[in-house]
C-alpha cells in the first residue's frame, strides 16, 4: 500500500533524478548560489550570484568550469552564463502558465556546487514582489513554501512533474520564498541577454532618500514640509546631471506623477522614453527641468 509519505518520496526522487543533472552550483571567492542549464552552453542564474572575481560553474557530476557572463539584468536579478555544459541536459519548461495557490512544487539547488538539494512545498501566493539587488521592485513573483538553504538562489522551482516553473531568488522569512516566473517574458529576456543585449531600463541617474528624510531635513532648516524624494547623489554623465539636478534637491513630480516613494519613480521610468519633465524644490525655489533618457 502506497502511503502519502511514499508518494512524497517518489515525487522528490523523480524530480531529483530527472532534473538534478540540469541544476548546477555557482561559486566564486565571496559567495555561492545555484543555476539552471537552459540550453547547450547556457546557464541561467540570479544576477546577485555574479562577482567581478569570476564565476565558476559546478555540474551535478562534479565537473568544474569557468563561465563567462553573456548578459546580466541586475535590476531584474537574472543573468545568463556561457559555459561548456557537456552532457547536462536543458531543463524543460512548464507549458501550463502560472500556478494556482496550493499547487505542490519541488525546489532543487546545488549551493555553490556542494551537492544537490531537493525540498517539497506548495504555492502559497502569486503576483508577489521583492527588491532587486539595486532596490528596484520586481513584481509578479511566485511565493512558495519549499525550504531553501543559503546558496539555493538561482535554482529551479519545479512542478510535481519536474518542469521549470520559476527561478528561486529570495527568502522572505517565516518559511516563505519567492521565485521569478519561468514564463514567455523570462524567455524573451534570456534570449536578449544571451545575445549580448543589455536590459533596456531607463535610468535617471540619482540616488534618493525616502520622503520622510526630505520632510525631516526641510523641517530642521525651517522650510515647509513637502512630500518628495531627496536627491542624495547624482551620477556623473547621467540624464539627471545633464538636466541640472543636484544633490539636496527634492523631486516632487516626475513625468507628471507625484514621487513620494522610490516605486513611484521606478514606475514612471519603466514606461518613459525621450524627454522627462521633473518638478523639484531646491530649498524654497520651485524648478522644472527636463531630463533626456
Q: Which residues, at least 6 apart from 212, have a Cβ–Cβ distance to it below 8 Å?
A: none
Beta-bridged to residue 67, according to DSSP, are 55
Please identify which of the residues 32, 73, 75, 77 carries the catalytic annotation. 77
Q: Which residue has the cell 519567492?
A: 178
Q: Which residues, at least 6 apart from 148, have a Cβ–Cβ distance to it below 8 Å?
A: 107, 109, 119, 155, 168, 171, 177
In our burial notation (b when 16+ CB lie closer than 10 A, e otherwise), range 11-39 reads bbeebbebbbbbbbbbbbeebbbbbbbbe
Cα 75 to Cα 251: distance, rounded to the nearest angstrom: 22
Let me know if 127 is a catalytic residue: no
Quick check: helix, strand or coil at residue 65?
strand
Q: Which residues, at least 6 apart from 200, have a Cβ–Cβ distance to it below 8 Å?
A: none
In the numeric block, which cell numbers belong to residue 46?
Answer: 540570479
Cα 193 to Cα 186: distance, rounded to the nearest angstrom: 10
Please identify which of the residues 34, 152, 153, 170 carries the catalytic annotation. 153
Please identify which of the residues 48, 144, 170, 266 carries the catalytic annotation. 48
Could you give phi then psi for residue 238, rounded to 5 degrees? -85, 165
Cα 112 to Cα 101: distance, rounded to the nearest angstrom: 30
Cα 156 to Cα 210: distance, rounded to the nearest angstrom: 34
Let me know if 22 is a catalytic residue: no
Cα 109 to Cα 127: distance, rounded to the nearest angstrom: 23
Let me know if 153 is a catalytic residue: yes
Helix (H) or strand (E) holding 264: helix 262-270
Residues labelled as active-site residues: 48, 77, 153
Amino acid at each position: 500500500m502506497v502511503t502519502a509519505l511514499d508518494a512524497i518520496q517518489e515525487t522528490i526522487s523523480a524530480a531529483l533524478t530527472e532534473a538534478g543533472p540540469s541544476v548546477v552550483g555557482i561559486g566564486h571567492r565571496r559567495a555561492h548560489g545555484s543555476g539552471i542549464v537552459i540550453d547547450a552552453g547556457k546557464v541561467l542564474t540570479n544576477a546577485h550570484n555574479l562577482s567581478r572575481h569570476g564565476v565558476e560553474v559546478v555540474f551535478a557530476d562534479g565537473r568544474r568550469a569557468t563561465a563567462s557572463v553573456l548578459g546580466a539584468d541586475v535590476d531584474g536579478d537574472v543573468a545568463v552564463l556561457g559555459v561548456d555544459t557537456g552532457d547536462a541536459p536543458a531543463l524543460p519548461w512548464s507549458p501550463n502558465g502560472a500556478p494556482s495557490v496550493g499547487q505542490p512544487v519541488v525546489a532543487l539547488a546545488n549551493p555553490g556546487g556542494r551537492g544537490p538539494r531537493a525540498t517539497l512545498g506548495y504555492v502559497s501566493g502569486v503576483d508577489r514582489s521583492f527588491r532587486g539587488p539595486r532596490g528596484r521592485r520586481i513584481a509578479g513573483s511566485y511565493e512558495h513554501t519549499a525550504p531553501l538553504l543559503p546558496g539555493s538562489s538561482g535554482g529551479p522551482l519545479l512542478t510535481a512533474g519536474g518542469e521549470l516553473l520559476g527561478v528561486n531568488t529570495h527568502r522572505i522569512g517565516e518559511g516563505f520564498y519567492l521565485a521569478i516566473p519561468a514564463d514567455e517574458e523570462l524567455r524573451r529576456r534570456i534570449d536578449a541577454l544571451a545575445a549580448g543585449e543589455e536590459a533596456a531600463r531607463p535610468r535617471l541617474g540619482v540616488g534618493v532618500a525616502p520622503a520622510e528624510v526630505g520632510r525631516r531635513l526641510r523641517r530642521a532648516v525651517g522650510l515647509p514640509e513637502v512630500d518628495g524624494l531627496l536627491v542624495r547623489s547624482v551620477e556623473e554623465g547621467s540624464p539627471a546631471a545633464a538636466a541640472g539636478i543636484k544633490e539636496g534637491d527634492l523631486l516632487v513630480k516626475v513625468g507628471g506623477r507625484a514621487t513620494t516613494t522610490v516605486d513611484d519613480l521606478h514606475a514612471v521610468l519603466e514606461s518613459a522614453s525621450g524627454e522627462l519633465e521633473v518638478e523639484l524644490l531646491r530649498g524654497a525655489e520651485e524648478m522644472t527641468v527636463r531630463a533626456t533618457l
